Amino acid sequence: MDRLAAPTASSQYAMIGRMDAAENAAVNHSRVKANIGSIVHLDKERLLSGERSLDIRRLLEKRGVLIFPQIHFTDEEHIQFTRTLGGYVSDRPDGGTTNITIDPAAGASANYTKASFFWHFDGYMNEVPILGSMLCCIAPSPEGGYTEFCNTYAAWEALPESRKSAIAGLRAIHAMAGAQLSVEPEPSYETFSEWLKVHHSELPLVWTHRSGRKSLVIGNTAVNVLGMHPLEGLELLVWLRDWATQERFRYSHAWSAGDAVLWDNTGTLHRATPYDHKLGRIMRRTKLAGEEPFE
C-alpha cells in the first residue's frame, strides 16, 4: 500500500469532488474526499448555539470526520460545543478537557498514548463505546503529528461480496496487549502480565448498526479471530486493516492552531503520525458518550 503523501494545511482544505446539495441545505460543508471527511462552514456562534446539532450529527455519520478549520474554541467552548451534540464524557474528575501528550513527564499514560501511532478506535473494552471524539489544536508540531482517519463504513461497503460473506458472523478478541505490543514488541513478562489485567473483549468483526449500515471493527487492539488458526486469523486482520486504510477511505489532517476535528468513533479508525514531544504539540480532546452497543 502506498504511503500517504504529507498534506499541507492549505491544500487539504480544497474541495475534492462535488458537494451534495441535500446535505448542504442543512449544514454548509464541502467534501474533502469522496468517501471521508467534510469541512464545515459554520461560524462559532452558530456552532455553539446548537441550532444545527442534529444536522451535524447526521453529517458526521455520513462523512466520518468533520473539520472546523481555525475555529479557535476555548476550553469552555470546546466542552459547550461537544454538549450540543450529545452526552459529554470527561476523563478528568473536574470534568475538563483532556490533554493528549506523549511527553514522558506526564507519567505512564503518555507511554500508553504511543499506541495511538497505530490504527485503532477507542473503547474496545466497553460494551457501549464512545460515539465520537473531538480534538482541538492549541499548538501543532512543526514536523509530523498529523491525525489520520479511515472510514470503516465505506471500507465495508466496498468489499467484494465474496469477502463480505466470508467474514459475516466472525468475532475477534480485542485487548490492550495487542495495542501495546505495537509500541513494545518484547515486553518483560511482568509488563505483559500488567497489560493482561486490563479487560479484553470479544467483538463482532462486522458491526451492524441500528441504522442498518455496517462497519468493520478492527485495529491494533484485535489479537485473533475466534475459530481460525492464529496465523490465518492474523492474516485476515492484516488484510482488512490494509483494505480499510487504503487511500480512498483515508484522510490525513495537517493541523493548524485553532483547528477542531470531530470523528465518529463507531465507524472510523484513527492514528497520529509520529512526532517529537519536544516540538511543543498541544492537543485537547473531548468525548461524546456512547449510545449503541456492539452488535
**β-pairing, 214-216 with 206-208?**
antiparallel
Residue 26: the pLDDT is 81
CA triple 122-106-66, angle to 5 deg: 35
Residue 113: the pLDDT is 83
Q: How far apart are alpha carbons 8 and 207 in whole angstroms?
A: 34
Q: Specify which residues 271 forms β-bridges with.
A: 148
Residue 21: the pLDDT is 52
Residue 250: the pLDDT is 98
Question: Percent of the chain at pLDDT above 90?
Answer: 84
Is the dihedral angle over the CA atoms 32, 101, 122, 118 positive or is it negative? positive
Q: Render pLDDT for 168-217 as a digit per residue (tens, 0 to 9).
A: 999 999 999 999 999 999 999 999 999 999 999 999 999 999 999 999 99
Provide the H-helix boundaries in the chain: 21-26, 44-49, 53-63, 75-85, 108-113, 152-157, 161-167, 176-183, 189-196, 230-244
Minimal CA–CA distance to 168: which of 264, 236, 234, 249?
A: 236
pLDDT greater than 80 at residue 16? no
Better pLDDT: 105 or 1: 105
Residue 3: the pLDDT is 33
* DSSP designation for 181: H
Q: Render pLDDT for 55-77 as a digit per residue (tens, 0 to 9).
A: 999 999 999 999 999 999 999 99
Residue 22: the pLDDT is 54
Q: Model pTM? A: 0.89
Q: Within 10 A of 254 (CB to CB), how many other CB atoms are there?
A: 20
Q: Name the pLDDT band for 257 (thresholds 50, 70, 90).
A: very high
For the residues 112-133, what does the mean pLDDT come to? 93
Most confident residue range from 91-95, 265-269, 276-280:
265-269
Which residues lie below 8 Å from residue 223, measured CB to CB, with a gap of 6+?
Answer: 172, 173, 174, 175, 177, 178
Which amino acid does the sequence have at 294?
F
* CATH architecture of the region 16-288: 4-Layer Sandwich (3.60)
Q: How far apart are alpha carbons 265 and 151 in whole angstroms?
A: 10
Q: How far apart are alpha carbons 235 and 233 in whole angstroms?
A: 5
| The C-alpha cell that represents 75 in the structure block | 476550553
Q: How far apart are alpha carbons 223 and 220 in whole angstroms?
A: 8
Which amino acid does the sequence have at 259?
D
